[in-house]
Chain A
Amino acid sequence: MAGTLETALVQTLNGVQFGFILFMIASGLTVILGILDVLNLAHGELFSIGAYAGIGVFGFVIGVVGPPSGVLGGVVFVLAVLVSVLLTAALLLPVGTVFEALFLRAIYDRDQVYQLVLTFALLLILLDVKKFVWGNTSLRTDAVYSAINSIPTSELVGLNYPTYNVFVILVGIAVVAGLFWFFDRTKTGRIVRATAIDREMATAIGVSTDRVFTLVFALGAFLAGFAGAMAVPPTAATLGMGTNPLVLSFVVIVIGGLGSLRGAFVGALLVGVIRSWMITLYPPGEIAAPFAIMALILLVKPEGLFGTWGETA
């Protein structure tokens, strides 16, 4: 009986961990959708560029810091990994800025289908840029995963659970708290929300919507890169890795409600946990389960759990 309970707990934790990664991707996508009214199909590629670039940055930083030894060494190592993730995500800031300022800005007033085609074109281009830079084979970095796992955390309470996943959950909580703080408490965040509620009115009181758009897009790219770097250590970076998170983010957005940060949070955790439970309960249902929830939500509450975003974060 204890075994079943432990499996259930481990699966739930796995789901929560995946949910946080999903939230980082979906939150950027949903905010871009809510404010710019653009469905960024290239978002999954930004995520996978984060993963590829993350491997490089991890390799460099770990080369400098060295493997962890003792309590202090462990803390330093974890901090170094965090810094690498932030550095990787920062690499994607200019990418997002260029995307918005150079490509998207020219076609806001055109038919929506052109925006879809444009982001689809960027997706195809990024796909081959990755192939050109990192080659056709998958890349992996085992050093980070095994080094962080050598630090005991869950073992202290008698559970055998990888420390890296605990690390992801903790960082995920910090990201969620940071995003809500940003949109609720800071001036820039309020300006962004004001633009989401009423674009013209925001312009009238002196907000530069151009700047807000660029900022939001760059923020989305940053979060996608952050998620990519966080997600890659336990697995490998592959060319096609961007597709699944992209489609699951769509599911998350539909469940949570278009442009709603809170909705993205609830939706991501829901999708993550249920998907992970399915792996033990009924393996073939793993892929279909998120879509089943989505279909259910669509039938019961078509506007999503939290409706549109703006008045509250």
Chain B
Amino acid sequence: MPERVETDGETRYRFLGVEATRREAVALALGVVALFAIPDVTRLSDSLQLSVIHQGLLFGFAAVGLNLLLRHTKLTSFGHAAFFGTGAYATAVLAKYAGLQSVGLLLLGAIAAATVMAALVGALSLRHTGLYFALLTLAFGQLLYAIALGQSALGGSDGMPIRPGPANQPLLLGTTFEPAVYQILTYYLTVVVILVGLFVMYRITQSPFRNALDAIGQERTRARFIGLPVRRYVWAAFVISGVYGGVAGGLYAVVRQYVRPEGTLFFLRSGDILFMAILGGFRTLVGPLIGGVVLIFLQDVGQDVTQYYEFLTGVVLLVLVYGFPRGIVGSLRSGGVVSTRLRQLRREPSAVADWARSAGRTAERKAVESLSSLRIILFGVD
């Protein structure tokens, strides 16, 4: 049962090594309940689809892994689809050529393949930081995409099915199920994996290892001077984050029972994964997961409404970059933009007029600024 602890005059609750304020504890409990209730909720409405939310959670889980790098070491990986795809393709290859049927073994294979791949890509690309690192990860990701596209053994652009054995289905607990039941059972499997993954990530963020990564992210040279093995730590973080991608990819393959290079390895997927972390709030633990569900859901809705859904995604991104750089969770949590505004509004409803006025002033100032810089660009400074 949760025990109460007092730290810095605040009441916190500790349960299974997770420490949280009352607010956070309630949010956490609600979140877990919501995760388990989703298959029932989606039955209520046709516009909600379990498969969409499921896919969102899987990509979001990969984003949780990427977030370890982004949040602490300040390294932006633009090739995380490589590990997602490695996991997915490892599952497919094991199912087709090795005849493995058990979901557990398939996932273990995905983890092993993603670990090796992350270790390799990390060793080559972590010699650099900043944009150079982003560029290298993107290049390696595209290389894997090109390989999957070019090898007929990997199915080329058609992809590969994951339908091993006489039942044409991976085995859960050694048995086969009806497709509908299989979908729901794999969803619960995903939920369990995600909860375990989040817990592990939480423990990592409470460990000295995280402090070391933070130090490295802030100032590499100093971190090396105080004796941190910078290369090795960053490499370890990279491999861990790659494994998260591999697990997500392996689950994706088991759930979809089909992998295509376009859907798993293409560099737009890497962009999606990075975007999920930013959208949900990359300074938070669960933000990327929520960002994943929201993004995949938006893309799915967008695809139904218009064929120009990439444009929609782009505009959402622009709004995010300029308006809400801290993401959904970052803006919602106490002290964020939204809660500050709401408190203001409750105290003084006329604040809306102030906001409108200040927004107008900002727009006016920006317009004047951009006009003058345009004039300077065209005619020079006189």
Contact = CB atoms under 8 A, between A and B. Distances in A.
Interface of A: 33, 37-39, 41, 97, 101-103, 105-107, 110-114, 116-118, 120-125, 127-129, 131-132, 208, 210-211, 214, 243, 247, 250-251, 253-254, 258, 284, 287-288, 291, 294-295, 298-299, 302
Contacts of A243: 142, 267
Contacts of B128: 302
A257 B226 CA distance: 30
B139 A302 contact: no
Nearest to B128: A302
B167 interface: no
Contacts of A103: 318
Contact of B274 (A116, A208, A210): A116
A253 B134 CA distance: 13
Contacts of A128: 308-311, 314
Contacts of B308: 128, 131-132
Contact of A113 (B127, B274, B373): B274
B136 interface: yes
22 contacts: A39-B134, A101-B370, A101-B374, A101-B377, A102-B370, A107-B321, A110-B325, A111-B74, A113-B70, A116-B131, A120-B274, A121-B317, A121-B321, A123-B314, A124-B313, A124-B314, A125-B315, A208-B376, A247-B139, A247-B267, A291-B140, A295-B124
Given A121-B317, A128-B308, A210 B267 contact: no
Contact of A294 (B139, B151, B309): B139
B212 interface: no
A213 to B, nearest CB: 10
A302 B275 CA distance: 29
A287 B150 CA distance: 8
A208 to B, nearest CB: 6
Contact of A125 (B70, B143, B311, B380): B311
A247 B130 CA distance: 17
B184 interface: no
Contact of B377 (A97, A111, A295): A97
Contacts of B315: 121, 125
Contact of B76 (A106, A110, A113, A127): A113
B32 interface: no
What 7 A-B pairs come out closest when comparing CB atoms?
A121-B317, A124-B314, A128-B311, A125-B314, A287-B146, A128-B308, A247-B142
B296 interface: no
B30 interface: no
B269 to A, nearest CB: 12
A129 B321 contact: no
B147 interface: yes
Interface in B27-61: none
Given A124-B310, A210-B373, A211-B376, 16 more contacts: A37-B131, A39-B135, A101-B373, A113-B282, A114-B325, A116-B76, A116-B274, A120-B317, A128-B314, A251-B139, A253-B135, A254-B132, A288-B143, A298-B124, A298-B125, A302-B128
B155 interface: no
Nearest to B318: A121
B134 A302 contact: no
Interface residues of B, number: 51
Contacts of A111: 74
A127 B266 CA distance: 15
A238 to B, nearest CB: 14
Contacts of A288: 143, 146-147
A40 to B, nearest CB: 10
B181 interface: no
Contacts of B307: 131
Contacts of A38: 131
Contact of B150 (A101, A284, A295): A284
A42 B127 CA distance: 25
Interface in B135-188: 135-136, 138-140, 142-143, 146-147, 149-151
Contact of B320 (A110, A117, A123): A117
A46 to B, nearest CB: 15
Nearest to B313: A124
Nearest to A283: B150
Contact of B143 (A37, A113, A129, A291): A291
B278 interface: yes
Nearest to B76: A113
B271 interface: yes
Contacts of B76: 112-113, 116
A106 B138 CA distance: 25
Nearest to A42: B314
A288 B146 CA distance: 8
A117 B127 contact: no
A298 B315 CA distance: 36
A291 B311 contact: no
Choose among A105, A123, A124, A250 the residue with the greatest number of B CB atoms under 10 Å from its CB.
A124
Nearest to A97: B377
Contacts of B127: 298, 302
Contact of A117 (B74, B132, B278, B311): B278
Contacts of A250: 135-136, 138-139
Contact of A254 (B74, B136, B374): B136
Given A247-B138, A288-B143, A298-B127, A116 B311 contact: no
Nearest to B308: A128
